[in-house]
Amino acid sequence: MALLINVDADFTQLITVAAAGTPVQGPAKSNPGGWMLKSDPDNTDTVWFMFHGETKATKGFPLNVGEVMVVAVESLSSLDFDADVNGNKIRAVKV
């Protein structure tokens, strides 16, 4: 039987924006193939991602509830995450 994927503790990540308007830097988790980002289905408003050090107002990309985007960055720490509502989340999975 062939092993298709090695699912380990780094395969998925959950990023929570505790305070809306205060960006959270992604964790130092790497994947050469990039990451699929999904706005958590329990969110109540838009979540945003942008390159580290940018702001959602100028360079942010919005993800509405349940939306998905594949991002070609090796490390999640290259990205910041923000939200319009406290406690909203982004889920990331290796591509």
78 — phi, psi (to 5°)? Answer: -75, -10
pLDDT digits (tens, 9 = 90+) for 13-66: 999 999 999 999 999 999 999 999 999 999 999 999 999 999 998 999 999 998
Confidence of residue 8 (pLDDT cuts 50, 70, 90): low
For residues 92 and 69, what is the distance between their CA atoms, to the nearest angstrom? Answer: 10
* Tens digit of each residue's pLDDT (9 = 90 or more) over 66-87: 899 999 999 999 999 999 999 9
Please state the domain extents for the chain: 13-94
Residue with tokens 């360079």: 59
In 3D space, the residue among 24, 87, 86, 36 whose CA is nearest the CA of residue 63 turns out to be 36
* The predicted structure's pLDDT at residue 76: 97
Overall pTM > 0.75: yes
Instruction: For residue 65, give the nearest of 91, 85, 44 by alpha carbon.
Output: 44
DSSP tag of 76: G
**DSSP for residue 26:** P
For domain 13-94, give the fold: Jelly Rolls (2.60.120)
3-state SS class at 68: strand
